Amino acid sequence: MPDLFTFGEAMALFMSSDTDSVKTARKYEMSAAGAEGNVAVAAKRLGLDVHFVTKLGDDFLGDNVISQFQSEGIDTTPFIRSENYTGALVRNRGQEEPLDVTYLRRCAAASTFEPKDIDENILAKSRWLHVTGITVALSDSARDSVAHALAIARKHQIQTSFDLNIRRKLWSPEKASTTLRELARDVRLITGGVDEYELVFGSKDPDENLRIATSKNIQTAIMTAGPELVRVLDNGVRFDFEPEVVKTVDPVGSGDAFISGTICGLLGGLDIRQAIKQGSRCGAMVAATMGDWAGMASGVNGILA
């Protein structure tokens, strides 16, 4: 029985290595990236049984991405190959220059996600479903896949988390707001940044947005602000959490480590405050190293060692 079921786009990440600008770089290091894949790897390192589904092109780049997940112990047999190409992103390290990301994902394999790609038999036996707004933004069929997975989770009373994770390069603010407002309901936990909550729930007041979110049958609403204060509304109880502060080497992937560490903590028996504390530690570890999951530590039964 999987502890965590998640699905979404896994991409090839090309990071400039000779200069800190894509404009001038001639050499790149390749790794794997993608929010749901990051969450899956973090949960696997924390000792949980993970079922992760992605769609990749039937190409060598897809083979390379698969091998990287295999090296992390992720079961890649559920991965789906497509006639469409494997998605990619190109970025700099963001050490000397502002972080710059170029997506090569329009019409990529993951945009062909459709509801039939979600195995209800496996999801029905899982303990937790995690979805993000990134998959929703990829295409109409991918959005329908997320809606379908959420419906299955409700049907089988599976705990669910929804990371708003708005990528503004993928869709307009208007479409993101309308679509995510419709989907973000009836889940155990929702997370997102201050600006993402504002876009989806409509208020300039962060606390009001937490209240609006939890009014949609959401037990726990977590609002992040990078390294700053985390606002939480859990079962009507409002509290703040001061995240662990580290020297940031690479912020990309730290949010995924945060939510994965929090989910794993809850599945491992921690209360919400302890789970968020663990999530903060996981996020800090990843932020302090270069790469989406390079700094993630290991654990047992969802708890950091």
Summarize pLDDT for 8-41 with one digit per residue, the tens.
999 999 999 999 999 999 999 999 999 999 999 9
pLDDT of residue 205 exceeding 90: yes
The reply to whether 45 falls in a domain is yes
pLDDT of residue 124 exceeding 90: yes
- Predicted local confidence at residue 75, as pLDDT: 97
- Predicted local confidence at residue 251, as pLDDT: 67
Q: Round to whole Å and give the CA distance between 249 and 285.
A: 10
The reply to whether 52 falls in a domain is yes
- Predicted local confidence at residue 247, as pLDDT: 74
Residue 42 belongs to domain spanning: 35-56+106-304
Mean pLDDT for the stretch of residues 263-279: 97
- Predicted local confidence at residue 290, as pLDDT: 72
Q: What is the CATH number of the domain that holds 133?
A: 3.40.1190.20
The reply to whether 185 falls in a domain is yes
- Predicted local confidence at residue 216, as pLDDT: 97
**Sign of the torsion angle spanned by Cα atoms 131, 42, 252, 12:** negative
Task: Annotate 87-156 with three-state secondary structure.
Answer: CEEEECCCCCCCCCEEEECCCCHHHHCCHHHCCHHHHCCCCEEEEEHHHHHHCHHHHHHHHHHHHHHHHC
Please report which confidence band the pLDDT of residue 292 belongs to, taking 50, 70 and 90 as the band edges: low
- Predicted local confidence at residue 147, as pLDDT: 98
Count of the separate structural domains present in the chain: 1
The reply to whether 289 falls in a domain is yes
pTM tops 0.75: yes
The reply to whether 259 falls in a domain is yes
Mean pLDDT for the stretch of residues 122-148: 98
- Predicted local confidence at residue 289, as pLDDT: 75
pLDDT of residue 295 exceeding 80: no
Mean pLDDT for the stretch of residues 254-269: 95
Cβ 28 vs Cβ 153: under 8 Å: no
- Predicted local confidence at residue 271, as pLDDT: 97
- Predicted local confidence at residue 254, as pLDDT: 83
Cβ 92 vs Cβ 22: under 8 Å: yes
Could you tell me if residue 145 is left (phi over 0), alpha (psi between -120 and 50 degrees) or otherwise beta?
alpha
The reply to whether 81 falls in a domain is no
In angstroms, the Cα distances linking 79 to 63, 66, 221, 268 are 11, 8, 31, 27
Mean pLDDT for the stretch of residues 118-128: 98
Please report which confidence band the pLDDT of residue 285 belongs to, taking 50, 70 and 90 as the band edges: confident
Residues 6+ apart with CB under 8 A from 60: none
- Mapped onto helix, strand or coil, the DSSP state of residue 217 is coil
- Predicted local confidence at residue 253, as pLDDT: 72
pLDDT of residue 58 exceeding 80: yes
The reply to whether 72 falls in a domain is no
Please report which confidence band the pLDDT of residue 305 belongs to, taking 50, 70 and 90 as the band edges: confident
CA angle 62, 66, 70 (to 5 degrees): 170
Q: Round to whole Å and give the CA distance between 33 and 22.
A: 18
Q: Which position has the token pair 């050499």?
A: 27
- Predicted local confidence at residue 287, as pLDDT: 76
On average, the pLDDT of the chain sits at 94
pLDDT of residue 297 exceeding 90: no
Please report which confidence band the pLDDT of residue 296 belongs to, taking 50, 70 and 90 as the band edges: confident
Cβ 110 vs Cβ 140: under 8 Å: no
The reply to whether 10 falls in a domain is no
- Predicted local confidence at residue 118, as pLDDT: 98
Least confident of 3-7, 102-106, 178-182: 102-106
- Predicted local confidence at residue 227, as pLDDT: 77
